[in-house]
Chains A and B, each alone.
Chain A
Amino acid sequence: KQEVTQIPAALSVPEGENLVLNCSFTDSAIYNLQWFRQDPGKGLTSLLLIQSSQREQTSGRLNASLDKSSGRSTLYIAASQPGDSATYLCAVGGNTPLVFGKGTRLSVIA
């Protein structure tokens, strides 16, 4: 059974800092990995989708990498801003629907 772990559970950084969020999964037989953002009391917003054949995807200040063999993905956020404060979730997809990690709660302090 696929299990997804995100460490740390919470992170607080000063504005302007570059940061990395981690995601690990136990079964490397995945089709894709998706990173989401969730603001308090809101739904999930898709940030990046990496297919299993890809090593990374970029969108603006966000860069996500995927290493299937080691069962790891990272989400890199450059020049963090207070507006980046949210919970970030990763989810892996195989031949069954997405399995989610519990998320990392990020606070960017002005």
Chain B
Amino acid sequence: NAGVTQTPKFQVLKTGQSMTLQCAQDMNHNSMYWYRQDPGMGLRLIYYSASEGTTDKGEVPNGYNVSRLNKREFSLRLESAAPSQTSVYFCASSPTSGGSYNEQFFGPGTRLTVL
């Protein structure tokens, strides 16, 4: 069981470039999430997918798009990277039952620098 995996681990982009962060989980979880973590700001939710086929905006969605490719995979795309998007990005998943978001499990993170 690999849990939640993320690729790449590190990335440097120039302003205006695009890229996709990949996330996959092998725990058969319904829900998946993308967060960013910045010094002094804590963890903030970018987008989430409560179940396959659905996506919703979180606290800081501007400048990002997501795709829930299937139950296992949830990708985050930066269409035109900006220095303000320099951050550590974490993907997470949870089983979810009913209306309750249950225990979340996190990936190791992607460290993104935008120059």
Interface residues of A (CB under 8 A from B): 31-32, 34, 36, 42-46, 49, 89, 91, 93-98, 100-103
Would A102 and B40 be within 8 Å (CB), given that A43-B108, A43-B109, A97-B33 are in contact? Answer: yes
How many angstroms from the CA of A44 to the CA of B105 in the assembled complex?
Answer: 8
Stretch with Cβ within 8 A of A (4 or more), from B67-75, B77-85, B96-104: B96-104
Contact B101 A43 (CB under 8 A): no
Tell me the minimal C-beta distance from A58 to chain B in angstroms: 16
Residues in B with CB closer than 8 Å to A34 are: 103-104
How many angstroms from the CA of A60 to the CA of B103 in the assembled complex?
Answer: 19
| Set A31, A93, A94, A100: member contacting B43, Cβ < 8 A | A100
Contact B45 A44 (CB under 8 A): no
| B106 contacts partner chain A, Cβ-Cβ < 8 Å | yes
How many angstroms from the CA of A46 to the CA of B92 in the assembled complex?
Answer: 11
Contact A43 B103 (CB under 8 A): no
| Set B33, B48, B103: member contacting A46, Cβ < 8 A | B103
Contact B45 A42 (CB under 8 A): no
Enumerate 12 A-B pairs (CB-CB under 8 Å) in ascending A order. Answer: A31-B99, A32-B102, A36-B106, A42-B108, A44-B92, A46-B104, A46-B106, A94-B101, A95-B99, A97-B104, A100-B42, A103-B42
| B61 contacts partner chain A, Cβ-Cβ < 8 Å | no
Tell me the minimal C-beta distance from B88 to chain A in angstroms: 9
| Set B40, B58, B100, B108: member contacting A32, Cβ < 8 A | B100
How many angstroms from the CA of A84 to the CA of B43 in the assembled complex?
Answer: 21
Residues in B with CB closer than 8 Å to A89 are: 42-43
Given contacts A49-B103, A100-B43, A102-B41, 4 further A-B contacts (CB under 8 A): A46-B103, A95-B100, A102-B40, A103-B42
How many angstroms from the CA of A42 to the CA of B106 in the assembled complex?
Answer: 10
Tell me the minimal C-beta distance from A26 to chain B in angstroms: 15
Residues in B with CB closer than 8 Å to A46 are: 103-106
Residues in A with CB closer than 8 Å to B58 are: 97
Kindly report which residue of chain B lies nearest to residue A45, judged by CB atoms.
B106
